[in-house]
Structure formats: C-alpha cells, structure tokens
A and B are shown apart, each in its own frame.
Chain A
Amino acid sequence: MKMVMAYIRHEAFEPIRADLLVKGFPSLSVSEVKGSGRQKGITERYRGAELTNYLRPKVKIECVVAAGDVRTVVDTILVHARTGGVGDGKVFVLPVEEAYRVRTGEAGEEILQAHASDAQE
C-alpha cells in the first residue's frame, strides 16, 4: 500500500478528481495548504506598505492505493497538474503499513478504494 501525496495548483484539482473517479479511485482527501518553493512570491500593497508573500496557496491531495495502482494515480495527477510553469507542485509517494475501515473493522488493501458493491452511499 502506498500513499500518493500531491501538492498542486487549485485549478488542477477538479480535472484530477474527475479523472480519478472515472479510473476507479473515488477515495481521496483534499486540504488547502500554503507553502513556499521556487515559485516567486506575490507582491501586495496595503495602505502604502508593500510586501511580498512567499507562501502560495496550494491544494494537497492524499490518496492511499494498492502498490500496483500508484503509477496510474501519479500519472493522472502529472497529466492534469502540469502547466509547464514554476509552481505546478510536487508529488510524493509514501509507504503505508496498515489500513482499517472504521465502519466494519476490515483491514488490508481491499478497503482502499470503494467497490461497486458499496459505492451506494
């Protein structure tokens, strides 16, 4: 099991979510984050005070999948998140040791993504 953790531009999220859904990966977490990297800061002005904000807003996606699915998920993210400009973001893949479904206590890879049978809710 692996966790794919991606930091991307806001506008890239919706296409990625839609594409992952189609490919059978509906389960993911999203958070609004701020971070700094090589992308240059935003210059702002407030009442004469000029400042540069180096923290740029990004969207963070976390998606835990079976090891064999990592390539598909990462490629999907890369395709939609890439504009070619500085600030497109980064994707990390982390090992995951165990996984449990809270509702039933089931464990293991089979809980990772919703299956057709329990996708009703």
Chain B
Amino acid sequence: MRALQAAAGVDAGDTAWMLAATALVLLMTPALGLFYAGLVREKNTLNTFMMCVAALSVATICFALVGYSLAFDGDGSLVGGLGHVFLQGVGFEPRDGTTIPHLLFFAFQTTFCIITTALVSGAVVERMRFGPFLIFAALWSILVYSVLAHWAFGGGWLQAGGTLDFAGGIPVEMGSGFSALAAALVVGARKDYGRQALLPHNAMYVLVGAGLLWFGWFGFNGGSGFGANDASVLAFVNTLLTPAAALLVWFVLDLLRGRQVTAIGAATAIIVGCVAITPAGGFISPGWALVLGGLAALPSYAVIVWRTRTRVDETLDVLAAHGIAGLTGIVFIGVVAQMSWNGVSDGLLYGNAEQLGSQLLAVLAAPAYAFGATYALLRIIGAFTALRGPDRDEAVGMDIIHHGEEAYVRGEGAILITPEGSVEDELAAVGPGSR
C-alpha cells in the first residue's frame, strides 16, 4: 500500500525534517507581515500585511503552475524547461540529488518563492495599489524569482560555473533587495516622504516579527541541506551564531551614532544576520559565521543611514537588509569557505582564489538581472494600469481605500447596514456573538 511506504530512495528521517522545515519557512511570510506592518503608519497596517498574504496566494499558485518548472526542470543555462509545468512529473519519487520526495522538494522551494515575493513589497508599501501589486507579484515570482532560483539552485549557469549559494543569497536576498530598489524608483516616493516624519507605528510588531523570522530561518537555512545531515546542522547552528554577532555589532554602531541602542535597530540586525548567513550557512565554519555577523552589520548599517538621506523611498530598506547583507554573505563564502566543513570547496583563505571569482560573478549578475527585470516589469504594468492612486487615497490610508477595514477599529459611530430582512434578523445581527 502506497500510504504505508516511502518510494525507493526516500529517507524517512530526511523527509521528516524537511516537512517541518517547510512549515517553518512558511511561517516566515506572516512573520514578515508583522515586521513590515509595525514599520508603517497605523493607517496602512492591514495593507502592508496583506501584501505578504497576497504572496502566500499568488506566488504559490504561479510557482506551482510555471515557476517551479522554470527554476528546477533541467539544467539549461539561463532558464529551466517546461517539463514540470502544472507539477507534471512531481511525485513521491525522490528529487534528483536528494533523499526526499520530489513533491516535498517542490513545497520547500515554493515557500522560498513566497517569502521572496513578499519581501519586495517592502519597497512600495503605503502607496502602491493592491490590484497592480497582485499582478506584479504573480509576474515577478515567475520572471524574476524563478529565473534567479534556476541560476543558483536549478543547475543554471551560476551553479554550473561553481558559484556557491547555500540557501538563497542570490535569488532570495540579492533578488529581493535589488528588485526592491527598482520598484521604489518606478513607483516613486510616498507623497509625504522627506517632508514629514513617517514613523513606525508599532515597534513591538517589528520585534515580534523579527523574532519569528529568525525562528523560521532555522527551517530556511537548516532545510537547505535537504535532509537531516551535516550541511543542515552546520547551517542551522550558523543561523544561531551570525545574527547574534550582527546584533552585538549593531548595538555598538547604534551607541557610537546616537548613544542609545534602538529596538528597531536590533530587529533589523537580526534580519541582517540571518540574511548574511543564508548563502554561507552550510559552507563556512561556526567561527567564521560569527565573524560574518559582525562584518555584515557594517555595510547594511551604512546603506540604511545613507538611503534615508536620499530621495529614494525604498521604504522598508529591503536593499540594505537583504540585498547588501546577502551580497556580503555571497562574497564571504569566496573568502572563508572550508572543504573540511562543507566537503565541497575551499575559499581564498584556504588556497582557492577561484571560488572568490565565482562568487563575485554572482554579485555582478544577480543584482543586474533583478534590478533590470523588475524595473522593466513594473514599467510595463504601469503602462496598463496606475501603480498608485491619487494623493487623497494616500492621505486616507491604504487600509480603508483598498480593504474597507481598519487595523485598530473602535466601532464608535459605526452603524450596521443590514440586508433587507426581518426584525429578528436585525436583532440577531446586533446581538452578542454576531461578529
């Protein structure tokens, strides 16, 4: 009986861990919703979270229908084939090179596509219309994420050329970060940007979101060894170490700059640390992972400070926290990767300068593609429909304009509109337990 056995070549332990890891990564998207929602103004709370919820739907469907095939079918140089469109041929037998069912491998990869698509929304929150965002999310997950995932994971030219990326420094982190920059440029700044202080409305959401993201990241990095194996354990442990070091260095930078350690800065540091170890997790020693955390804090901190002084309203600093930290992690592999830890390759410090070259290639190619493709995609969508509404909508807030709801509704002054019905219906509608 099929239900009682696994397909040949499938390992029960590996499969068990990957099932759990997939669920952990899925949690990261609502966690990101919390993180983002806390960073925006009260009137845009729901819309910001809903962009992440939108990715849960749209990116999942698009990845299942087309994206997964483009990313993981065959080893074409630039893009995969169409053999797995509509999940054809994705079943219980193990995915090549792994000991887990192909279906599970697909689900795990889908959660990556979801979170990455949601990440890009950070650049356009508080102003982009919800409808065009849905179209953008659908097309972006196919045209940008799936292509970059193929380059890095699916046997595309970067992976074939020896570039190492353990859990997504290329498609997830640099992909989202540099796409976010392009999206911010096309959609344009919020109308009050640079004129008024646009403050985070709930720092607690930001901290809770960051904490849940870190938790989910153990599945993200720890699952990228595709089993209960050494690479997964190393990445798992490094996911503990790098953010810890990033936090400490961020504290110091905050102290030097403003004599106080900020909570939102700390939440950002957790993300930066998790991002930096994402590509490097299974390739570098725990000692170097600590160093990476401290090191990665510096450029990301600098970009955040610099970005807010520009006219570029890349609102939630996806570029600094993801693009730049991911880039740092990708380069760092080329320097300190150790064959004795990863069984794959050494870096520059261990006598293999070539690895650094492969890593730098990815640093040039991935941001260029992500930026260019996202810029073009949004321009094209923008030619058919307005990406943002009138200034008046922005003043009222996206929650009421696009969703007809408020995050912090108090109910005073609200009058229930009842459908034509009997008095009993109306009484039932206003009675206890009706909402």
Binds B, one of A8-16, A19-27, A64-72, A112-120: A8-16
Those 6 A-B pairs whose CB atoms lie nearest each other, nearest first? A55-B413, A11-B395, A53-B414, A50-B417, A51-B414, A51-B416
Given contacts A49-B416, A50-B416, A52-B415, contact A44 B195 (CB under 8 A): no
Q: Which residues of B contact A44 (CB under 8 A)?
A: 400, 404-406, 409, 414
B binding-site residues for A, Cβ under 8 Å: 192, 195-196, 392, 395, 400, 404-406, 409, 412-417, 429, 434-435
Q: Which residues of A contact B192 (CB under 8 A)?
A: 11, 14
Q: Which residues of A contact B405 (CB under 8 A)?
A: 44-46
Q: Which residues of A contact B415 (CB under 8 A)?
A: 41, 51-54
Q: Which residues of B contact A42 (CB under 8 A)?
A: 400, 404
A binding-site residues for B, Cβ under 8 Å: 9-11, 14, 34, 36, 41-47, 49-55, 83, 85
**14 extra interchain contacts, Cβ-Cβ under 8 A, other than A34-B413, A46-B409?**
A11-B192, A34-B412, A44-B406, A44-B409, A44-B414, A46-B405, A46-B435, A49-B435, A51-B417, A52-B415, A52-B417, A53-B414, A55-B413, A85-B392
Contact status B434-A49, CB under 8 Å = yes
In the bound complex, CA of A32 to CA of B253 (Å):
36
Q: A11, A14, A52, A54 — which one has the most chain B CB atoms within 10 A of its CB?
A: A11
In the bound complex, CA of A52 to CA of B196 (Å):
31
Contact status A14-B195, CB under 8 Å = yes
The residue on A at minimum CB distance from B395 is A11
Q: Which residues of B contact A50 (CB under 8 A)?
A: 416-417
Q: Which residues of B contact A85 (CB under 8 A)?
A: 392
In the bound complex, CA of A50 to CA of B415 (Å):
9
Q: Which residues of B contact A52 (CB under 8 A)?
A: 414-415, 417
In the bound complex, CA of A49 to CA of B195 (Å):
38
Q: A45, A52, A53, A55 — which one has the most chain B CB atoms within 10 A of its CB?
A: A53
In the bound complex, CA of A62 to CA of B395 (Å):
22
Min C-beta distance of B404 to chain A, whole Å = 5
Given contacts A51-B414, A51-B416, A52-B415, contact A14 B196 (CB under 8 A): yes
CB contact between B413 and one of A11, A36, A45, A47 (< 8 Å): that residue: A36
Q: B409, B414, B415 — which one has the most chain A CB atoms within 10 A of its CB?
A: B414
The residue on A at minimum CB distance from B401 is A42
Min C-beta distance of B433 to chain A, whole Å = 12
Q: Which residues of A contact B400 (CB under 8 A)?
A: 42, 44
Given contacts A49-B429, A49-B434, contact A54 B413 (CB under 8 A): yes
The residue on A at minimum CB distance from B417 is A50
26 CB < 8 A contacts A-B: A9-B395, A11-B192, A14-B195, A34-B413, A41-B413, A41-B415, A42-B404, A43-B404, A43-B417, A44-B404, A44-B406, A44-B409, A45-B405, A46-B409, A46-B435, A49-B429, A49-B434, A49-B435, A51-B414, A51-B415, A52-B414, A52-B415, A53-B413, A53-B415, A54-B414, A83-B392
